[in-house]
Chain A
Amino acid sequence: MTETTAATPKKKNSGFSLGHLLLEGRAFLALIAIIAVFSYYSPNYFTVSNFLIMSSQVAIYGILSIGMLLVILNGGIDLSVGSILALAGVCAGAMMQGITLDAAGVILYPPVWAVVVLTLCVGAAVGALNGVLIAIFKVPPFVATLGVMYVARGVALLMTNGLTYNNLRGKAEFGNTGFSWLGFNRLWGIPISVIVLATVAILAGLMLSRSAFGRWLYASGGNERAAELSGVPVRRVKIVVYTLSGMLSAVAGLVLASQLTSAGPTAGTTYELTAIAAVVIGGAALTGGRGNVRGTMLGAFVIGFLSAGLVIVGVSSYWQTVFTGAVIVLAVLMNSLQYGRGGRKS
């Protein structure tokens, strides 16, 4: 109130923009801080090889959180991503073991590319189920994806009877080798999983910023009624968004199964929460309509680099949980500060 109108607009403006900058770039600054602190404590942290290892771990969360970002931008939530990840891994594992066709009396060994395509289809189908439940049958997203989370996990357990597929390498005589390429190989020295993450991120970023679909997504997340009256096919947008989230979960499931060369039905438990945390740390609003891929990527790296750093420094894993929780709450606090300010301004 003291510096309302006269004389000081310039000063006020610059003060605001510095604070604004800190607030806007908070995820980036947090990442820098994390790297600086851990590099100080451990000589092994700030090395190219460590960054590449950490990044390939982040890739799993990163891919999941991009799907989660799309859903959250739409004003929803997807709790089923961790289960879809496990289901996708188990499906891929089952196909790698060979599909027994009793009627024909043969065992089919599909080539790896077919395994990948079919697994992505499974993920997309489960995602589409979420979308249809939410968009057509008006089940609240939280409930619909909670239910699908249980069902997908249960199906994965049933398929393997609770066991894990351990051998995903394939056999040369069946012509289905190469599954571990996703998890182990490098292109120009960069792990394939990181390249997959980067590709997904760039495509999603382009879709959000440059395609009509992206605009529809932001609009229906910001104000569904207004979007609908403007001719946005809000139901179709919803179904597509959950389908994409399911498909990206399957991508993450493939990458994880490939990294471990095994696929278990309990993989990815609570990953959905990590993905939500990454999106929130990245500045997206859980009410929908605000957020972007850049922020979400930063969020995923903040979480990944923080937990990896704590391991390297040798902090108890119980403390990791505490730290991660604190970071999430802090991020949401900053979000409400930012959007609260945005609302009061004008």
Chain B
Amino acid sequence: MTPENAPPATEPNAREVVLAARNVAKSYGSVHALKGVNFDIHRGQVTTLFGENGAGKSTLMKILSGVIQPSTGEIILDGQPVSFANANDARDRGISIIHQELSLAPNMSVRDNIFMGREIIGATGVDFAEEERQVRRLLTELEEDIDPLTPVEELRLGQQQIVEIARALSVDSRILIMDEPTSALSASEVEVLFKVIRDLTAKGVSIVYISHHLEEALTITDHAVVLRDGNMTAYAPRAEIDLEWIVRNMVGENYDLGSPPDSDQGEVALSIRNLSVPDPAGFKLVDRLSLDVRAGEIVCIYGLMGAGRTELLETCAGRLRASAGEIVLEGREVSSLSIAERIARGLALVPEDRQRDGLVQTMSVGQNLSLASIARFTKGFITQRGAEKRLIADTIREVTVKTSGGSAAIGSLSGGNQQKVVIGKILATRPRVIMLDEPSRGIDIGAKAEVFRLLAEGARQGLAVLYSTSEVSECLSIAHRIIVMHKGRITAEFDSTVTKEQIMAASGESVAA
């Protein structure tokens, strides 16, 4: 589409390509996660994939590592078309992947995790001594002082990530795919990881790197590939690109999610004062944070993974307990109330993970919609069917859920419509303050725009809206105010005239390269 979208294979002087994707597409039912992507991995170089959530990065990586099969297109390994039966098949051919979500068994030791499924068998069963020796060597290489016999659950998240990396290194891969390897690492651990990456590339190992941390990724990468909505929008070597180029290609120019509604901003509806939330280890997930949201105002919280956004919102909703601070809803302290009581007072959360926390899969669309407000139309013992039906029909129309009716199975809806059901369920409780944790996660751009239109409409009617996102373009849409969170604190606050670069700069630590 753009001139930058030339197929990479035609580039002259490309170093030896070890693995390539040709017109790879992947569909899940009617959802097109990838729409024909071309992609090269060069020997001994780092290729970074940039793209927002839902752009198709993880899908592409899963295809390259054999976890899933492409719907169409082919994978070319060393010039030969191949198809991987599964992840083990790909691993046997030298391709391994470090997943974003950790896949370690927490009850087992570091050593057992690293050799899980491919234990070294000696004359008398598993050769634990040899395994331990190899693990020690790997961990020394990674400059991480972990005893191989420590159970993984006793390690910090960052250390667990190191174990995951060690496991991938232990199989002598030629191609190593890293999906957000630094999201839980400290700055010094990131530096060590980058040193390891440079060592590996010097040995001829090819790295595919995915990160939301753009500046960090720029310090390590040799090539950049940008995906947007399942298409590859740009491809260039490191020398020709900068941060601005990445953002422009990631987000696109004509990406309109609406603008802040000109609503009347009233009294402070939700006031968070000096809120702290500890994690089990005593580390602060939210650190003395204060924030006010007015009626009719839309506030966006931007932050990277692990910034504490989810914990902040879940604490306000009542799922997590704060260690200190106050949550004040329309002048009344609500910290001691249950989730149900907070919903009754008008403070409700649309959770981040709608499959796990938002929907009851065994119930119909209508039953999900009325779940949070069913007590309202129950007189004595029996619910009033008419009132419930009316509520369901009204909500389906209001939030424009595309469904055959209230009795349809929830699983028959697309991701975007499922998300609208979760939002509709909360709106049906007639909240005064609605909090949404990553409301756009895993839904397509059309549904995204509709969700944002709904929120803007709510604000116009006096609803206070607080939503979180990890996508910059979503900050610059309907929000009146943008809060940037990092490590549990607010690091910056902007009004709606801010630029994408300013937000990104405020969101993360800068890594000295």
Contact = CB atoms under 8 A, between A and B. Distances in A.
Interface of A: 206-207, 210-212, 215-216, 218-219, 221-223, 225-233, 285, 288-290, 342-343, 345-346
B319 A229 contact: yes
B409 A342 contact: yes
Contacts of A229: 317, 319, 339, 349, 351, 357-358
14 contacts: A210-B381, A212-B374, A215-B367, A215-B374, A215-B383, A218-B367, A222-B363, A226-B351, A229-B319, A229-B349, A230-B343, A289-B360, A343-B411, A345-B411
Contacts of A215: 367, 370-371, 374, 383
Given A211-B378, A226-B360, A230-B372, 10 more contacts: A206-B382, A215-B383, A222-B360, A222-B362, A225-B356, A226-B351, A226-B358, A228-B339, A289-B360, A346-B411
B375 A212 contact: yes
A30 B339 CA distance: 45
Nearest to A235: B338
B359 interface: yes
Contacts of A227: 360, 371
Interface string B406-432: 000101100000000000010001000
Given A211-B378, A211-B383, A228 B319 contact: yes
A230 B349 CA distance: 8
Given A231-B339, A232-B340, A346-B412, A210 B362 contact: no
Interface string B322-365: 00000000000000001110111000110100001111111100
B322 to A, nearest CB: 17
Contacts of A207: 381
A212 B372 CA distance: 10
A210 B385 CA distance: 8
Given A221-B362, A226-B358, A289-B363, A233 B340 contact: yes
A150 to B, nearest CB: 29
B339 A211 contact: no
Contacts of B361: 222-223, 289
B382 A211 contact: yes
A219 B411 contact: no
A239 B1 CA distance: 61
Contacts of B351: 226, 229
By Cβ-Cβ distance, the 7 closest A-B pairs, closest first, are: A289-B362, A222-B362, A231-B340, A222-B360, A231-B343, A230-B372, A212-B378
Contacts of A222: 360-363
A180 to B, nearest CB: 32
Contacts of B362: 218, 221-223, 285, 288-290
Contacts of B374: 212, 215-216
Contacts of B385: 210
Task: Count chain B CB atoms within 10 A of each CB in A228, A288, A289, A345 and give the residue with the most.
Answer: A228
Interface of B: 317, 319, 338-340, 342-344, 348-349, 351, 356-363, 367, 370-372, 374-375, 378, 381-383, 385, 409, 411-412, 425, 429
Contacts of B319: 228-229
A218 to B, nearest CB: 6
A230 B383 contact: no
Task: Count chain B CB atoms within 10 A of each CB in A211, A231, A288 and give the residue with the most.
Answer: A231
Given A210-B382, A231-B339, A218 B357 contact: no
A210 B412 contact: no
Contacts of B349: 229
A231 B372 contact: yes
B340 to A, nearest CB: 4
A130 B357 CA distance: 26
A66 to B, nearest CB: 17
Contacts of B409: 342, 345-346
A226 B357 contact: yes
Nearest to B353: A225
Contacts of A218: 360, 362-363, 367
Contacts of B343: 230-231
Contacts of B381: 206-207, 210-211
A261 B425 CA distance: 53
B363 A210 contact: no
Contacts of A221: 362
B378 to A, nearest CB: 4
A80 B357 CA distance: 31
Contacts of B357: 225-226, 229
B313 to A, nearest CB: 11
A227 B351 CA distance: 12
Nearest to A230: B372
Task: Count chain A CB atoms within 10 A of each CB in B317, B348, B382 and give the residue with the most.
Answer: B382
Contacts of B429: 231
Nearest to A215: B374
Contacts of A289: 360-363
Contacts of B348: 231
A246 to B, nearest CB: 21
A222 B349 CA distance: 19
A232 B362 CA distance: 16
Contacts of B356: 223, 225-226
A177 B360 CA distance: 51
Contacts of A232: 340, 371-372
B57 to A, nearest CB: 26
Contacts of B412: 345-346
Contacts of A290: 362
A248 B378 CA distance: 25
Contacts of B340: 231-233
Task: Count chain B CB atoms within 10 A of each CB in A206, A207, A223, A228 and give the residue with the most.
Answer: A223
A221 B371 CA distance: 13
Given A212-B378, A229-B319, A342-B409, A219 B363 contact: yes
A172 B381 CA distance: 40
A232 B338 CA distance: 10
B317 A212 contact: no
Nearest to A216: B374
A240 to B, nearest CB: 13
Contacts of A343: 411
A346 B415 CA distance: 13
A228 B378 CA distance: 19
A285 B385 CA distance: 26
Contact of A230 (B378, B382, B425): B425
Given A219-B363, A226-B360, A343-B411, A231 B344 contact: yes
